[in-house]
Chain A
Amino acid sequence: MSDSISNSPSDPKADERNPSNLRAEVDGLIARGAFDLARRRLAELWRRDPASGTASFVTSRLDELGDKLALTKFKLAILRSFTVEPIVPLLRAEAFAYGIDLEVHVGDFNTYVQDMLDSQSTLYRFAPNAVVLAVRADQAAPELWRDFADLAPDLAQQAAERVVRGYEQWIGAFRKHSQAALIIHSLERPSAPSLGVLDDQSESGQSGVIRQINRELRRIAEGFHGVHSLDYDALVARYGSEHWHDERKWLMARLPIAANHLLHMAREWMRFIVPLSGRTAKVLVVDLDNTLWGGVIGEDGMAGIKVGSEYPGAAYQALQRALLDLSRKGILLAVCSKNNLDDAMEALEKHPGMLVRPKHFAAMRINWTDKAQNLREIAQELNVGIDSLAFLDDNPFEREQVRAAFPEVTVIDLGRNPLEYASAVRNCAAFERLTLSSEDQQRTEMYAAQKQRAGAEQNFQSKEDFFRFLEQEAELEPVSDLTLARIAQLTQKTNQFNLTTRRYTEPQIAELAKEPEWHIFSIRVRDRFGDHGLVGVAIAHDEGEQCEVDTFLLSCRVIGRTVETALLAHLAESAAQRGRKRLVGWFLPTKKNAPARDFYPQHGFERQEANGTGSLWTLDLDRSTLRCPDWIKLKVTTEA
């Protein structure tokens, strides 16, 4: 979160864009050739309103964009005994959200048997990557569906066996003609068996026989490579059979699924399509505050954060259980949090309500650097591509920043209710897997062992490499007419990395600048990513043997890149040159300046005193080894 005027890549006005403006904006961007931005806006449009109309708009623009976006291509064929055409745009829009350009071929109505048996059928000529066999019981097992109660038990059993043999035959033929994945809808249990409650009292009732067929289908699927079961019953149950079914549409248009649930059918298909297309997330990077626990550890402390078995902490425990389930599938977990390391680690290690512990995480970045950079480092450390990352953060600004920096990262959308966080993770198709190896199951332990061997040095080395990689150039100068306004503005707006939070107006700065005992500096930073402008201010005044730091602040955009060290080192050196013996400064804690809390001790200052308002720190200038880091090219303009 930025607390000074910035031209950061995230767009703070995201909330204000409404759907019709977004549509116009998308068309404008396409016309201008700004394809990547058009893609982001299309994704946003779909996220905000995943409905049929939006799906038509999104898929038509996707078709326009064609190969200009580097989406993963995937061909899906749907063989069916009911109308599925209205689901296709919803499915293609969902696929787009996962980075997939989905081409869909819908087989003719009820020709699924011929389609699978005939090696020359349009199905095989389409050469799909995956096939969905969406057949309902009324077609797959008609004699068991309508008048079951009239069937003698042995006849019912024979009918069931005929159904199963049929499937076995079609699947066998399919596998001979194609290596594509096959996803088979299980048969739906009857919602109103003729005999009412009597039906389910034995396994040879209608429900029992359908269950038996489904068990057999699953067994057949296991015997083939790449044949998978889709539990249609479980899907319907989630929403309630009465709501899921639309008898009117079934009679009118052979569409058995109600309008509101077409999207849910599409999403269920996506749970197979995403792992089959390889667009899976291998690592989930999670935030800590208000994501893994309720509250902010730096402000609320161990006693104040909420995580446990009772409300409201229970929501966060549920999320942590979902995370543990991910790691059982071989998905790595990582932490990316803006916090002081010891605060965060204490909660992770010691809070009794936590279910996840440091050992569950393959990587951690707990610092004040921006999250996009941390994600890049995590990907590098874990040796995965950035497109293998998923990101979970309660803060919509952080999510938007990451989306802007890395459109290929799967950013999980969270609502405002923590009770829904666990489902948001469980419903993300990027975490679905269709196979599980022993390596998958042990992956987290392997990483934990590796981490222990490597130790802390590994992180430190990569940090220095990162600083060198940044190629930072800094200009440090005393206040001038040109910088006066910006300096005053920063004192008024900066909250996070601000040691004393003293606010100054322009006239006040101008007054101080005239005082010979007062020294006001600004620091301007440029790095390989661009010019950040004037990002830091230090105000110090001499009093006898000491120089006191009245104000020391840095824009949060450059926190954690040692620019603050360069500025502090200059204060120390210039104070020493003026013959001072000590550099002293207060740290006055506020709700927002936790990032600056350890600044003085980290630079070798000693605590001289502490009281209700804060702590006073002191550096002996004769013995100070404080220097500007050698990876920053510093240009200093001395005071007149």
Chain B
Amino acid sequence: MAASTFEQVRNIASDIFGIPLEKITAESSPETIENWDSMQHLNLVLAIEEKFGVQLDPEDIEQMKNIGAVAALVEKLQSAPR
């Protein structure tokens, strides 16, 4: 059974930031995760694009304030592909 979008995003974040899965929540953000800097933000964007086959605009990327927002963004892009 495929994991939910949120679960998949959490897994990606766990890999990219090197943090155990349990510690990643919807509220996890650059404020709560120490090595979530601009380069890591880019890495996260690329991993999301690669995994879900979506393309993120600069406006989308700005809206990625926390993991919950990232998952919501992915769902929105998947339901209405550009």
Contacts and interface: CB of A to CB of B under 8 A. Distances in A.
A179 interface: no
Interface string B9-25: 00110111010010000
B18 A53 contact: no
A22 to B, nearest CB: 12
B76 to A, nearest CB: 17
- Interface size band for A: 20 to 34
A252 interface: yes
Contacts, number: 54
A243 to B, nearest CB: 11
A249 B45 CA distance: 10
A253 B11 contact: no
A248 B58 contact: yes
Contact of A54 (B15, B39, B45): B15
A51, A252, A259 pick with most chain B CB within 10 angstroms: A259
B27 interface: no
Given A252-B58, A255-B42, A60 B51 contact: no
Given A259-B49, A260-B50, A52 B42 contact: no
B49 A53 contact: no
Contact of B46 (A20, A57, A251, A259): A259
A46 to B, nearest CB: 12
Interface string B38-70: 010011011101110001111001000000000
B15 to A, nearest CB: 4
A262 B49 CA distance: 12
A85 B38 CA distance: 12
B43 A51 contact: no
B51 A51 contact: yes
Contact of A86 (B11, B15, B43, B57): B43
A53 B57 contact: no
A86 B18 contact: no
B61 A252 contact: yes
Given A86-B42, A248-B55, A248-B57, A259 B15 contact: no
Name B's interface SS.
helix
Contacts of B12: 52-53
Given A85-B39, A259-B46, A259-B49, A53 B15 contact: yes
A199 B57 CA distance: 32
B42 A53 contact: no
Nearest to B47: A52
Name A's interface SS.
helix
Contact of A60 (B11, B18, B43): B18
Interface in A39-84: 51-54, 56-57, 60, 83
A51 B18 contact: no
Contacts of B45: 259
Nearest to A60: B18
Nearest to B50: A259
Nearest to A88: B43
B61 A53 contact: no
B42 A253 contact: yes
Contacts of B47: 51-53, 259
A52 B39 contact: no
B46 A52 contact: yes
Contacts of B56: 248
Contacts of B49: 258-260
A20, A249, A260, A262 pick with most chain B CB within 10 angstroms: A249
Contacts of B50: 51-52, 259-260, 262
A83 B46 CA distance: 13
A86 B48 CA distance: 13
Contacts of B46: 52, 86, 249, 259, 262
B11 A20 contact: yes
A571 to B, nearest CB: 55
A97 to B, nearest CB: 17
25 contacts: A51-B50, A52-B12, A52-B15, A52-B16, A52-B43, A52-B47, A53-B11, A53-B14, A53-B15, A53-B16, A53-B51, A54-B15, A56-B16, A56-B43, A85-B43, A86-B39, A86-B42, A86-B46, A248-B57, A249-B46, A252-B58, A252-B61, A259-B47, A259-B50, A262-B46
Interface of B: 11-12, 14-16, 18, 21, 39, 42-43, 45-47, 49-51, 55-58, 61
Given A53-B12, A56-B18, A252-B61, 9 more contacts: A20-B11, A51-B50, A52-B50, A53-B15, A53-B47, A57-B15, A248-B57, A259-B45, A259-B47
Shortest 6 CB-CB contacts between residues of A and residues of B: A53-B15, A259-B49, A52-B47, A259-B46, A259-B50, A53-B12
